[in-house]
Amino acid sequence: MSTSHIVIARKIFISDLKTINQATIDIFPLALATVPWGVLCGSLAINVGLSPLQAQLMSLLVFAGAAQLAALTIIGAVGSLSSIFSSTFVISSRHLLYSAVFREHVRKSSLGLRCSIAFFLTDEMFAVTCAYMEKHKIFSPIYAISSGVVFYLIWNISTFVGIIAGQHIPNIEHLGLEFAIAATFIAIVFPAIKNKSTLISVISSGLSAIVLSIFLKEYALIAATFIGMLCGYLTNDKECIDE
Amino acid sequence: MNNFWVALVGMTCITFSCRYFFFSKTVPFELGTKVKRLLSYTAPSILTAMWVPIVFLGHQTTNDDFITSPFLIAGLVTVVLSLKIKNTLAVVGLGISIFGLLKVII
């Protein structure tokens, strides 16, 4: 390799390191906020009768907080496999939307890269990667994967803590740990509202989430999301005409 | 649970498939500009559809009153904080602390 090649390779290496560093900084607060949820997942798994290994494997392989908690609740109530699978699908179906958003940026990559990005695709990873995309006008696979990996590590460490400590905290599921998730999502959503259409999509999705979760609990999340997206989409149209 | 391993493998496949589906080269489907714009509202809509029920209906899980519910009060304070403070970690940390404090007081 000639000297100029080494210089270029070095520059790429340094800029990659910067991207990884930025991803870690951006995802860290969001990952910290899911620690209570991870702890809850770990301790609940032990409480419904899973072995510590099974409890940890769930976070290592499934890696989806809401779906894991729902499944654990069903296992605790001695529910059927089919109800576990259908609730997992309903809760995870939002990830279909995320993969549709990243599709055009990821589709031409190698199978390994596509699988890695898919595996680490969570609400939080999606949110920070979108913000990065908005700011730099480019999709960075390195950014996406490194933020996902940081999140994965913290999720699994907190599950582990839950497996160890959760057995000693009584009524852990009644402490209101889910508020940490609400606080995180609030902190992501509000700074991202920069125009009228996004505001409208947030308001309409929030209102319909309340109404729908009273009437059709299981599908409230995905239905409210679509209503929010549609309202935002329609608002944007009018703005374009006005201009 | 006897069927745990089946449940684990099944859940792993379902969550991964949902995340991978549109990355697949065999899914014949092109995103038009309209669909792309619709999808740009995904993050704010879905995250809101998740936090709103926790803040406004969270009192039902702990049998608190709606008005004095720590979920409601701390949630609204977090909204205000998120508009005032740029640092995400500070917003989340303060929000959770206020929630914890209210849980102790109320």
In a domain, residue A29? The reply is yes
As for how many domains chain B has, the answer is 1
User: Which of A143, A175, A207 delimits the end of a domain?
Assistant: A175
In a domain, residue A226? The reply is yes
More confident residue, A169 or B74: B74
**How far apart, in Å, are the Cα atoms of A66 and each of A25, A209, B66?**
24, 16, 24
Same domain, A215 and A149: no
Per-residue model confidence as pLDDT tens digits over B50-71: 899 989 988 887 777 888 899 9
Does any CB of chain A come closer than 8 Å to the CB of residue B72?
no
pTM of the model: 0.79
In a domain, residue B9? The reply is no
Same domain, A220 and A156: no
Average pLDDT over chain B, rounded to whole? 88
Best mutation target, B4, B11, B35, to test chain A (most A CBs within 10 A)? B11
Does any CB of chain A come closer than 8 Å to the CB of residue B47?
yes
Query: How far off is chain A from B69, nearest CA to CA, in Å?
Result: 11
- Chain B residues touching residue A178 (CB < 8 angstroms): 54, 58, 61
Dihedral angle at the C-alpha atoms of B59, B73, A172, A25, nearest 10 degrees?
130
Same domain, A133 and A236: no
Residue A238 has pLDDT above 60, yes or no: no
Are A84 and B11 a contacting pair, CB within 8 Å?
yes
Best mutation target, A61, A189, A208, to test chain B (most B CBs within 10 A)? A189
First and final C-alpha spacing in chain B: 38
In a domain, residue B82? The reply is yes
Per-residue model confidence as pLDDT tens digits over A122-166: 999 999 999 999 899 999 999 999 999 999 999 999 999 999 986
Q: Give the start-end residues of each E strand in chain B.
A: none
Per-residue model confidence as pLDDT tens digits over A18-48: 999 999 999 998 898 888 888 888 988 888 8
Query: How far off is chain B from A18, nearest CA to CA, in Å?
Result: 20
Domain holding B65, by residue range, is 31-105
In a domain, residue A114? The reply is yes
In a domain, residue A188? The reply is no
As for how many domains chain A has, the answer is 2
In a domain, residue B78? The reply is yes
* Residue listed under structure tokens 């999808």: B39
Same domain, A11 and A115: yes
Which chain A residue's Cα is nearest to B96?
A: A180
In a domain, residue B11? The reply is no
Nearest partner of A58 among B14, B68, B105, B27, judged by Cα:
B14
Domain holding A238, by residue range, is 193-243
The helix/strand/coil state of A139 is coil
In a domain, residue B5? The reply is no
In a domain, residue A32? The reply is yes
Same domain, A125 and A200: no
More confident residue, A238 or B46: B46
Are B18 and A92 a contacting pair, CB within 8 Å?
yes
Confidence of residue A173 (pLDDT cuts 50, 70, 90): low
In a domain, residue B7? The reply is no
In a domain, residue B2? The reply is no
Same domain, A137 and A231: no
Same domain, A115 and A201: no
Percent over 70 (pLDDT), chain A: 92
Residue A241 has pLDDT above 60, yes or no: no
In a domain, residue B43? The reply is yes
